[in-house]
Structure 1
Amino acid sequence: APEAAVEGERAPRKRRRRRHGRPVEGAEAAVAAPAVAAGNGPVQVPATPMRASGNDSDSFLTRLGRKIRRMLSGD
């Protein structure tokens, strides 16, 4: 490493970027190492929506707004 610093040249950086879901050419070694390390970390699970869009029960604020409108309109 000290010899490279004396010459002023550095090793080329590893390419980790993907293009359209495929690794860039020449990046096989760079992609293999993080894949092993990623197995030790937490698994990412897709989030589930809190409420479905077609839920039959409306929110509290929606029901409150309807009641206020009914009171003001006199129905």
Structure 2
Amino acid sequence: MIGKNISQLLYEQQKTQVWLAQKCGVTKGHINQIITGKTQPSLQLLLKISESLSVSIDKIVDTNSQQS
């Protein structure tokens, strides 16, 4: 769910995984693994992602944000 939320936020803000990776100091591959659900971000990385996307951590971990 975290990965889907990050992907949705990137789409809404017209940002790329490469942009997010550079802002967070990690590789695009690592961001991709988070988005595809293969790995979970550390708390420190989650904080960097939320700061980069200008949203609260709650917005990223919210399990209800993908409802249509």
TM-score category (smaller protein): under 0.3
Q: Mark the structure with the bigger radius of gyration.
A: 1
TM-score by structure 1 length?
0.20
TM-score by structure 2 length?
0.22
Higher RCO (Cα < 8 Å, 6 or more apart): 2
Structure that is richer in strand per residue: 1
